[in-house]
């Protein structure tokens, strides 16, 4: 590890770190005055120079230039309190938006330099282009110090510092950096060859002890790891057996505050430190905070340090929202952003390929408002892109999923004569988060759990503001489900219960083959989903998670190059998810009713089927008109029909799969129907009327019919005393069996048994025949 970097600043209000500056010792009369030390924290900025699509003019506003607002906020707060350190918890670059990543995030580094960032933990995305890129190009351009105490570098290398210190108005501040221990699974292994990631808590505690021994008055942990919940009382924070709980509960008392990131959640928590309580300190709880993501907030921690007692006498902590109008844009950063926009413009104009028609997101009834609860051609396309672009050396992918919130615009392209061209800009606007892609192994049971998590609940079981999120699904994977009304607790601060729905997956198929709950499948999703984002927590439980350094946007670029070389990319209007009400078991030849919903896309220009067909194999059993009315419900209800059909009488008992077919869209949904065996009716007679022992052979005519009166096929068997069992085959439900001569007179009880078939149960009757002596 590189030696710690030290900066001495004595209450001069300098906006940037100054190296090696020696200042006069403060006067003795001033030494006893308390010092308010302000720590401003950010995390997971991810190159958000602009928000949404870049402006077409040269004026930034609060929505399109978050970097300029962030810089302005830091400078304003630093002006109010010169004893300030601006620090970060990693992922400042990587997975960036268009204007930043087309220049390898150099405009973002310049903007954060201007904002006065002084120190940051390394995040996993700092390693996206490899260790050498981080410790070389990135660190050379950044004015701040990257630190990572739990990063062991390749043998003989010492390029990344463990800690950083700064003396502020006579108080020495120490910072420890740490990165998520999942780093090897989140970046390309080749890019970090020789790098080892060690335990966060052990590395932090050792580094903090060294800082204290070296004279640090206060120590702060900058850690690129975080909570999966914003609730400070959740097990994520309090259970030391969890990754994050271990950090919050077991980081040593040498650390005065924990500034975190990685999970993109904003929280402002604090937890008592037993040692501080025992020591009787004025402040006994340690802040544990995160600002969320993308420069939307700042963590503001203010510690009143009493230099006479060398303790923290008081503290405050808050999340400062960088909302519209809260801070004016920093003109210096606006200039950086404008230059980045101008640089990106010609690149964004590049044509990636042609599309046959627009790929839309789901809509509500007005045809323009997005509905994240609806299936869409765009969501399914992006999922298919991610599946197709998972390299074989990464394990390939059989299934991919896409979260609807990751789609920020429709993919409409631009008309150029008779063709519709997709530009780099349009593709980047659709997916502005530039999420890395993650491949993982999931069992069929886990995939089912993920699909049922579309009916949203937060980690405490409450209903989020968006009650349903429909995942985009790659080609070849389909499923059916049922949806039932339930009541769940309202999310605080609301009380009581809320009416909502829950869903149950009733069948899943991959390329027409039923998904096995115990089988493992290769699944790809973006890093946000893979980490359990949007309450899809089961993704985070998947084994073998690995990234290969490709973002969702780059995957789209590569896919378009491959798929549009000879013809425009057509829109796939087929549904992956269809709701079908439960069907009771039915007999062969019996009737059933299929209540269907979510058979159609909801955008006004999406191709929709006018009717749905029900087929068994190639046989058409029935059809019905579809109601494609779009509502304002934030669920997936477009495309409703009720179809009454009769099963063929020769349908085998057991599990039978019907297909719901849309001829215009190509939708094929499978419905498993359980067919019970029916009951046959057996009748039998005897001839002649007076058979004589030893002289007359008895003929037994047998007839077998099904419950609906249809003659059935199969065999019958007759047994009784005095002769061997006889089996005969039915023809048109009938057969006559001739018995041998009886050697004795009297009543003879025969058992006539229908041996059953694939459709009918075995059935038997008793038949009495009287044999006369003469």
The beta-strand segments (E) located in 599-730 are 611-616, 619-625, 641-646, 654-661, 668-675, 681-684, 699-705, 715-720, 723-729
| 63 has pLDDT over 80 | no
pLDDT digits (tens, 9 = 90+) for 428-443: 878 876 778 999 999 9
Rounded (5°) CA angle 260-97-351:
160
Structure confidence at residue 64 as a pLDDT band (50, 70, 90): low
| 110 has pLDDT over 50 | yes
Residue 228 is predicted with a pLDDT of 75
Rg over CA atoms, the chain: 36
pLDDT digits (tens, 9 = 90+) for 615-642: 999 999 999 999 999 999 999 999 999 9
List the domains of the chain with CATH numbers.
Answer: 35-342 (3.60.21.10), 351-476+517-563 (3.90.780.10), 577-675 (2.60.40), 681-771 (2.60.40.10)
Least confident of 141-145, 457-461, 729-733: 457-461
| 15 has pLDDT over 70 | no
| 542 has pLDDT over 90 | yes
Residue 186 is predicted with a pLDDT of 63
Structure confidence at residue 201 as a pLDDT band (50, 70, 90): very high
pLDDT digits (tens, 9 = 90+) for 137-167: 999 999 999 999 999 999 999 999 999 999 9
Residue 494 is predicted with a pLDDT of 59
Structure confidence at residue 22 as a pLDDT band (50, 70, 90): very low
Structure confidence at residue 607 as a pLDDT band (50, 70, 90): very high
| Residue of 692 and 240 predicted with greater confidence | 692
Residue 405 is predicted with a pLDDT of 85
Cα separation, 393 vs 389, in Å, equals: 11
Q: Which of 321, 261, 333 is nearest to 64 (CA)?
A: 333
| 768 has pLDDT over 80 | yes
Torsion of CA 48, 52, 55, 60, to 10 degrees: -50
Mean pLDDT, all residues of the chain: 90
| 33 has pLDDT over 90 | no
Q: Which of 103, 12, 5 is nearest to 49 (CA)?
A: 103
Residue 415 burial by CB count (10 A; 0-12/13-18/19+): exposed, middle or buried? exposed
| Residue of 20 and 256 predicted with greater confidence | 256
| 59 has pLDDT over 90 | no
Residue 532 is predicted with a pLDDT of 86
Return left, alpha or beta for 523; rule: phi > 0 is left, psi -120 to 50 is alpha, else beta: beta
* pLDDT above 90 as % of the chain: 72
Cα separation, 495 vs 243, in Å, equals: 31
Residue 409 is predicted with a pLDDT of 82
Across residues 366-387, what is the average pLDDT? Answer: 96
Assess contact for 672 and 626: CB atoms under 8 A. Answer: no
Cα separation, 93 vs 46, in Å, equals: 5
Q: What is the pTM of this model?
A: 0.63
Cα separation, 166 vs 82, in Å, equals: 13
């Amino acid at each position: 590890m590189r030696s710690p970097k030290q900066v001495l600043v004595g209450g001069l209000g300098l906006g940037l770190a100054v190296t090696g500056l020696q200042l006069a010792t403060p006067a003795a009369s001033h030494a006893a005055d308390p010092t308010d030390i302000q720590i401003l924290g950010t995390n997971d900025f991810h190159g958000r120079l602009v928000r949404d699509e870049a402006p077409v003019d040269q004026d930034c506003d609060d929505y399109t230039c978050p970097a300029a607002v962030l810089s302005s906020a830091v400078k304003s707060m630093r002006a109010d309190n010169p004893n300030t350190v601006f620090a970060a918890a990693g992922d400042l670059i990587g997975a960036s938006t268009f204007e930043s990543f087309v220049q390898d995030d150099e405009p973002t580094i310049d903007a954060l330099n201007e904002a006065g960032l002084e120190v940051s933990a390394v995040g996993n995305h700092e390693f996206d282009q490899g260790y050498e890129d981080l410790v070389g190009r990135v660190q050379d351009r950044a004015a701040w110090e990257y630190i990572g105490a739990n990063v062991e570098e390749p043998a003989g290398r010492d390029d990344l510092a463990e800690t950083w210190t700064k003396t502020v108005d006579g108080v020495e501040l120490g910072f420890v950096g740490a990165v998520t221990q999942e780093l090897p699974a989140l970046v390309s292994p080749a890019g970090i060859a020789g790098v080892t990631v060690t335990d966060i808590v052990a590395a932090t505690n050792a580094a903090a002890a060294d800082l204290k021994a070296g004279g640090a008055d206060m120590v702060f942990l900058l850690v690129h790891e975080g909570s999966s919940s914003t609730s400070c009382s959740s097990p994520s924070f309090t259970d030391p057996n969890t990754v994050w709980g271990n950090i919050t509960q077991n980081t040593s008392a040498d650390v005065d505050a924990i500034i975190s990131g990685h999970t993109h959640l904003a929280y402002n928590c604090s937890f008592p430190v037993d040692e501080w309580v025992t020591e009787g300190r004025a402040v006994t709880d340690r802040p544990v905070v995160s600002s969320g993501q993308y420069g939307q907030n700042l963590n503001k921690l203010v510690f009143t340090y009493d230099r006479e007692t060398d303790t923290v006498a008081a503290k405050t902590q808050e999340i400062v929202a960088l909302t519209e109008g809260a801070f004016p844009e920093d003109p210096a950063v606006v200039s950086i952003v404008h230059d980045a926009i101008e640089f990106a413009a010609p690149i964004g104009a590049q044509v990636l390929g042609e599309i046959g028609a627009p790929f839309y997101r789901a809509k509500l009834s007005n045809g323009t408002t997005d509905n994240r609860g609806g299936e869409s051609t765009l969501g399914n396309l992006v999922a298919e892109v991610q599946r197709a672009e998972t390299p074989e050396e990464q394990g390939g992918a059989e299934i991919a999923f896409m979260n609807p919130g990751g789609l920020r615009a429709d993919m409409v392209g631009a008309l150029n004569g008779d063709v519709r061209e997709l530009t780099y800009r349009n593709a980047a606007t659709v997916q502005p988060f530039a999420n890395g892609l993650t491949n993982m192994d999931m069992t069929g049971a886990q995939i089912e759990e993920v699909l049922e998590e579309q009916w949203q609940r937060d980690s405490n079981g409450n209903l989020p503001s968006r009650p349903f999120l429909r995942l985009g699904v790659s080609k070849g994977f389909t499923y059916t489900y049922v949806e039932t009304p339930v009541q769940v607790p309202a999310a605080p601060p609301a009380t009581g219960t809320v009416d909502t729905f829950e869903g149950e997956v009733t069948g899943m198929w991959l390329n027409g083959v039923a998904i096995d709950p115990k089988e493992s499948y290769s699944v790809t999703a973006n890093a946000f989903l893979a980490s359990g984002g949007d309450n899809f927590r089961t993704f985070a439980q998947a084994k073998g998670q690995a990234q290969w350094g490709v973002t969702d946007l780059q995957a789209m670029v590569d896919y378009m190059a491959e798929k549009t070389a000879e013809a425009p990319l057509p829109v796939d209007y087929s549904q992956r998810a269809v709701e079908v009400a439960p069907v009771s078991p039915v007999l062969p030849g019996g009737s059933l009713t299929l209540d269907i919903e979510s058979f159609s896309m909801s955008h006004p220009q999406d191709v929709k089927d006018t009717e749905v067909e029900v087929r068994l194999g190639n046989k058409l059993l029935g059809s019905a008109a579809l109601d494609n009315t779009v509502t304002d419900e934030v669920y997936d209800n477009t495309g409703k029909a009720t179809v009454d059909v009769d099963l063929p009488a020769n349908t085998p008992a057991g599990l039978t799969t019907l297909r719901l077919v849309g001829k215009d869209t190509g939708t094929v949904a499978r419905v498993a129907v359980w067919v019970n065996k029916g009951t046959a009716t057996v009748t039998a007679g005897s001839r002649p009327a007076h058979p004589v022992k030893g002289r007359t052979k008895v003929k037994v005519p047998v007839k077998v019919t099904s419950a609906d009166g249809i003659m059935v096929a199969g065999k019958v068997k007759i047994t009784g005393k005095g002769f061997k069992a006889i089996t005969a085959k039915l023809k048109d439900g009938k057969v006559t069996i001739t018995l041998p001569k009886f050697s004795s007179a009297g009543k003879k009880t025969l058992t006539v048994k229908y041996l059953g078939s694939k459709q009918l149960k075995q059935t038997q009757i008793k038949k009495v025949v009287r044999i006369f002596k003469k």
